[in-house]
Structure 1
Amino acid sequence: MSNKKIRMGMVGGGDGAFIGAVHRIAAQIDGEIELVCGAFSSDPAKSLASGRKLYLPEQRCYQSYEQMFAGETNLPAAERMQFVAIVTPNHLHYPIAKQALLSGFHVLSDKPATFNLQEAISLSEIIVQSGNLYGLTHTYTGYPLVKQAKHIVASGELGNITKVVVEYSQGWLANKENEDGKQASWRLDPKQAGISCCVGDIGVHAANLAEYVCGAQIHSICADLGSVVADRQLDDDAMVLLRFDNNARGVLLASQISSGDENDLRLRVYGDKASLDWCQLEPNSLWLKYNNKPAQLIRSGVGDFCQAASSAMRTPAGHPEGYLEAFANIYVNFAAQIRAFEAGQVSDNDTFDVPGIQEAIRGMAFIENTVEASQSSQKWHVINIDSNN
């Protein structure tokens, strides 16, 4: 197995883009990955300028992703990038991922995976055709105590899961002041974001977190989406009743207009024996609660943990394992997946705990079905992953 760093390229994430910097920091935390090239903006001049600011060689700063894939393909195998991180607005995810995979590169994409469900289904076929790896940055599955929560549920400690409550609340779009900013403008534009803002941006994260921890899938929904701020074309607030395929009921609340709220992501899972409670604002703490004995506070770094949680922890007890570290756990796992792939070893997404195309399809199905359900007078809608119906 190679003792060299995994070589990464990036599309999007140029100067002034929030999420691009987050991806680059996360990729470098464990020393397994190095950024070697990029096409950082749809504006060729901005792309080149961003590459220079990142101290990349002039010849590895590209004016477009098409030019980057062509240029990298022509380099010796030991020099060219091995995977590309896609951190553009949603409408560009599919064409970039498709060309990257068919050009021989692995892909790690920001979520949602594609602009619509049909593209996600098509992308799954392209992944098989290309034979390359695909990962999706559902960041919150990277937290150590989220992984421990998943393990506790799977162990049966909670008993039969009966209820799931997941909330993702923000306040940054509570009025029009931020609409013209770079982060808001494309998220509120149907041509770039797709059919949803709030559910597509954060609601899908909440749905993925619930399914990941519970080991169950959302089967049907009853949804109420809305645009609280006048004249918005896309939703900024959502309430969704859930039914899971293990007969559990639940509720998903997602909001970008909850004034004063930060990135307040919280998951509560109730069983007939015990319950779990985890909140991103206090990521090192996981509550395990019972009816007939004192609640247990599980703290990151203290005591024994499952292998997935233990390997995701980097710091001694009391030091926060935060958002960047959670992001980094997906990157370091994807790097290990690439190493296994290139060594001819088992390299599936489940083995390496990397969200993949199945999570991508389920995410897009959740977004589209939630929007459709909200627009319907029918109460319950079964989640449909067939984009032709």
Structure 2
Amino acid sequence: MGMIGGGPGAFIGPVHRYAAEMDREIELVAGVFSSDAGRSLAAADAYRTDPARAYPTLEAMFAAERARPDGIDFVTIVSPNHHHLPAARAALAAGLPVMTDKPLTATLAQAHELAGLVRAAGLPFGVTYTYSGYPLVREARARIAAGALGAIRKIVVEYPQGWLAGEAVGKQAEWRVDPARAGLGGCIGDIGVHAFHLAEFISGLKVTHLLADLGAVVPGRALDDDCTVLLRFAGADGSAARGVLLASQIEVGERNGLRIRLYGEKGGLTWRQETPNALEWATLDGRHEIVHAGGGLLGPDALARTRTPAGHPEGYLEAFANLYRDFAAKLRGEPAPLLPGLDDGLRGMAFIATAVEASRAGAGWVPLTV
């Protein structure tokens, strides 16, 4: 694996490295870890990779790795949003599959350009919507698809954080509030898109219309940091549901409180990212069940990505690693139907762009089209 981004001070770069290497199917061996050659070398030292394979530019990495018998097999893109398209374009042109962090790109126009490049290249492509890797998220998806809740009526997904309630200080905060690097959306593109993907992933429904109210609460901030979006969902079978998505980075005291609740005609379920090894299930007759990770009654989708017995907690890194296991399967030519891909990335960018533009215009209900 070659990494693009993830230099000194990055949060997500080391996460990708730990996750990719967890199951020993992938190894980080090279990278353009920073646009600064010295910082790229420093990152190579931190990652314990060969300093000769810490490159100053993408062009240098692709040329050198192509000449090696043990050159990289794919790249993972962990740089800020504005760099996703040029990095992916260069990798695909070099004949390399791509795994990219979300959102897909900085703008919807860039996303469509990238989609054309991916389809023309015909190479494996994945997007790290991390929360789809949790075993109990996959269990919830499978149970809903099997009809355990009946027709879905209501979806509520929340993603509260508080770390940007004050001045944006530090590398991770600064680029997220900068339109030149983050793109069109702030909070909506950073965590709102995770909530959007999770709602569609678990429910099996697609958002058809939305009504958005996005705000920049902290004075002087150019991008949204607080979001409320009403949603209308539809299924391929003609079913319909209402929903609401709440995402905020100015809720003091909140950490990473992603939570989803789905209510159907026969029951409801709740999953929380901060307690990811429990899935709450309720039925019309008053029963309340707690489904635990690692339990023997889980379905094949959950068990296939569970590493430890019940009672031995698995969390964020393991969920992330599940996406890399799926991607490794794709590289071998094996099916990996639950790995988020190009279509998920496009829908996420369409959601961001539609919500931002509709909120600015005060447009009321608008269709979500990709």
Q: Secondary structure at the match of 1:283?
A: strand
TM-score norm. by structure 1 comes to: 0.92
Q: Is 1:128 aligned to residue 119 of structure 2?
A: yes
Whether the aligned pair in 2 keeps the contact of 1:144 and 1:321 (CA below 8 Å) is: no
Alignment counterpart, residue 322 of structure 2, candidates 317, 323, 329: 329
Q: Is 1:229 aligned to residue 218 of structure 2?
A: yes
Question: What is the CA–CA distance in structure 2 between the aligned matches of 1:234 and 1:378, rounded to whole Å?
Answer: 18
| 1:28-177 → structure 2 map (5 Å cutoff) | 28-76=21-69, 79-176=70-167
Which aligned segments of 4 or more residues in structure 1 are displaced greater than 6 angstroms?
A: none
Whether the aligned pair in 1 keeps the contact of 2:58 and 2:90 (CA below 8 Å) is: no
Q: Which residue of 1 aligns with 2:178?
A: 189
**What is the one-letter code of the residue matched to 1:382?**
P
Q: Which residue of 1 aligns with 2:190?
A: 201
Q: Which residue of 2 aligns with 1:3?
A: none
Q: CA deviation at 1:102?
A: 1.3
Q: CA deviation at 1:52?
A: 2.7
**Structure 2, gaps ≥5 residues long:** none
Whether the aligned pair in 2 keeps the contact of 1:210 and 1:267 (CA below 8 Å) is: yes
Question: What is the CA–CA distance in structure 2 between the aligned matches of 1:170 and 1:230, rounded to whole Å?
Answer: 18
Q: CA deviation at 1:319?
A: 1.6
Question: What is the CA–CA distance in structure 1 between the aligned matches of 2:119 and 2:246, rounded to whole Å?
Answer: 35
Q: How far does the alpha carbon of each residue in 1:248-304 deviate from its partner, in whole angstroms, 9 at most, with x for none?
A: 000000000010001000000000111111001110100110121311110111232
Q: Is 1:357 aligned to residue 348 of structure 2?
A: no
Question: What is the CA–CA distance in structure 2 between the aligned matches of 1:377 and 1:131, rounded to whole Å?
Answer: 40
Whether the aligned pair in 2 keeps the contact of 1:168 and 1:253 (CA below 8 Å) is: yes
Question: What is the CA–CA distance in structure 2 between the aligned matches of 1:295 and 1:366, rounded to whole Å?
Answer: 34
TM-score norm. by structure 2 comes to: 0.97
Question: What is the CA–CA distance in structure 2 between the aligned matches of 1:67 and 1:381, rounded to whole Å?
Answer: 45
Q: CA deviation at 1:187?
A: 0.4
Whether the aligned pair in 2 keeps the contact of 1:163 and 1:271 (CA below 8 Å) is: yes
Q: Which residue of 1 aligns with 2:19?
A: 26
**What is the one-letter code of the residue matched to 1:159?**
G
Q: How far does the alpha carbon of each residue in 1:110-154 deviate from its partner, in whole angstroms, 9 at most, with x for none?
A: 000111111111111111221211100000000000000001110
Whether the aligned pair in 1 keeps the contact of 2:227 and 2:247 (CA below 8 Å) is: yes
**What is the one-letter code of the residue matched to 1:365?**
A
Whether the aligned pair in 1 keeps the contact of 2:323 and 2:339 (CA below 8 Å) is: yes
